[in-house]
Amino acid sequence: MESLHELHGRRGRIITDQDAREISRVEELSYDLKISEVMTSNVKTVSPEMPMNTVLEILRVNRISGVPVLENDQLAGILSIEDLVRCMEKNELHLPVRQYMSQKIVSVNAYDPVVKAIETFSKERKGRLPVIDEAGKLVGIITKGDITRGILNALQRDYHEEELRRYRASHLFEDITSDRTSLILRYNIKARDYLNGGQASSHIKRALLRLGATPQLARQCGIAIYEAEMNLIIHTTNGGIIRVQIEPHRILMQTTDDGPGIEDVQKALTPGWSTASQEVRDMGFGAGMGLVNIQRCVDRMELESTPGKGTKLVMEIILRPEERFKETDDSESAP
Amino acid sequence: MNLQEIVHQLNLTVVTQPKPLETIHPTGGYASDLLSCVIAGAKPGNLWLTIQAHVNIIAVASLNELAAVIITENASPDPSVIEKANEQGVTLLVAGETTYQLAGKLWEMGIR
């Protein structure tokens, strides 16, 4: 379960960190990919008047097991290896294709999603399906093998993109030399924006994973930020700002807002104490556990507040040696 | 016990997009309607039983990498909630029974 949090698919859609990710991504891809993207477009065709022994030769040379039959550029039928076997049993290889081709054509449209072809395959028990365009003209042929290949290629592209992102991000601290490098992420949080609650924390969690943080560290930061983010949404007058400063040896997270401020900071830190309204409690917030949860996740938490002025919450995680982000190796230049 | 068997035995409705539930093996469960308690108490891979059906349960489930959220007493999530769940890869299940009844059954089934 502790793989990367989420990654953007080839069409900018988001895929997530479940173990089943690749499998459900395959399902998603079968809706996402068009038949035209996976089909074979360079199709061998035959004419209805062609003798069957010529077709036998075409199938043998091209190592295929069926061909569409075209008459005046229109799809007139399909001839499969089964038809050829029937013909050979009767010793009629001199007869034209027309005698043996199947005229009951099941085709799919080039602009349909791949899932349409999968459904047709399971319904029709065919080995291949001719693909036609909007004008009904044959533009390709699709087999189950084409689908498998197409989806594997798309998955490969996805994987490669995320690898690239991870690679670029994870070398940030190594690639930039300074006496002290830090990366600052800033998020503006709107008051009462429950719909987007958790968005900033989920982005921060993903950023940390890309930078090479351990899943445990990313989760810890995600939880601390989530609680702080919800506090800004639930309690502030005008929303607030989340600022995350990532350094090789520590993560400093801070939220600031301009009011209303907390009357009694000590009370606010008491487990179970909350000022949340009934409306907010009905949504499951206001358990009075937010700040307690944060304390559990971070090494240092400081809450400063002035009623009427605003609140500042500082959270710091000091990274253990094995958690630290890799930095430029100075040992070579050292005396 | 995998999630597919749990869905079948407890007669749950899967409201999010299909995924191979038989590959998900819940590590335990947690029941609460208070989000912060879930954040503190639920462990990655747990099932979460709640009557809450609004959009914020998705962030909690995703942050905590929960196996699935079981929404009890037929509380029905809005289409926007389901969409968000699909986006984040969170599995949402709906049950007719109460949280108490379901927790009892899950415990009996060995999800502890």
**Is the pLDDT reported for residue A11 higher than 80?**
no
Does residue B12 carry a pLDDT above 90? Answer: yes
Across the interface, of B17, B20, B36, the residue whose CB is closest to A287 is: B36
pLDDT at A158: 78
Distance between A181 CA and the closest CA of chain B, angstroms: 28
Query: Chain-centre distance of CA A328, in angstroms?
Result: 31
**Which pair of structure tokens corresponds to residue B31?**
């029941």
Task: Record the pTM.
Answer: 0.63
Task: Note whether B20 contacts A23, CB cutoff 8 Å.
Answer: yes
- Model confidence at A3: pLDDT above 80: no
The overall average pLDDT reported for chain B is 93
3-class state of residue A249 by DSSP: coil
The chain-wide mean pLDDT, for chain A, equals 85
Predicted confidence band of residue A330 (pLDDT cuts 50, 70, 90): low
- Is the model's pLDDT at A99 over the cut of 60? yes
Distance from CA of B70 to the nearest CA of A (A): 15
Q: DSSP per residue over chain B, as a string?
A: --HHHHHHHTTPEE-SPP--GGG----EEEE-S-HHHHHHH--TTEEEEES--STHHHHHHHHTT-SEEEE-TT----HHHHHHHHHHT--EEE-SS-HHHHHHHHHHTT--
Domain boundary assignment for chain A = 1-170, 172-323
CB of A21 within 8 Å of a chain B CB? The answer is yes
* CATH superfamily of the A1-170 domain: CBS-domain (3.10.580.10)
pLDDT in tens, A250-261: 999 999 999 899
d(CA A319, CA A327): 13
The Cα–Cα gap between A4 and A18 comes to 9
Q: Which fold has domain B3-108?
A: 3.40.1390
Partner-chain contact A287 B34, CB within 8 Å: yes
Measure CB to CB from residue B55 to each of A194, A219, A222 and give the nearest one. A194
Confidence (pLDDT) at A329: 63
- Winning range, highest mean pLDDT, from A119-128, A211-220, A305-314: A305-314
CATH of range A172-323; options 3.30.565.10, 3.40.1350.10, 3.40.50.2300, 3.40.1190.20: 3.30.565.10
Q: What is the pLDDT of residue A216?
A: 85
Instruction: Tell me the residues of B at the A interface, defined by beta carbons under 8 Å apart.
Output: 17-20, 23-24, 33-37, 39-40, 44-45, 50, 52, 54-60, 62-65, 80, 87-90
Closest CA–CA distance from residue A89 to any residue of chain B (Å): 45
Question: Domain-by-domain residue ranges, chain B?
Answer: 3-108
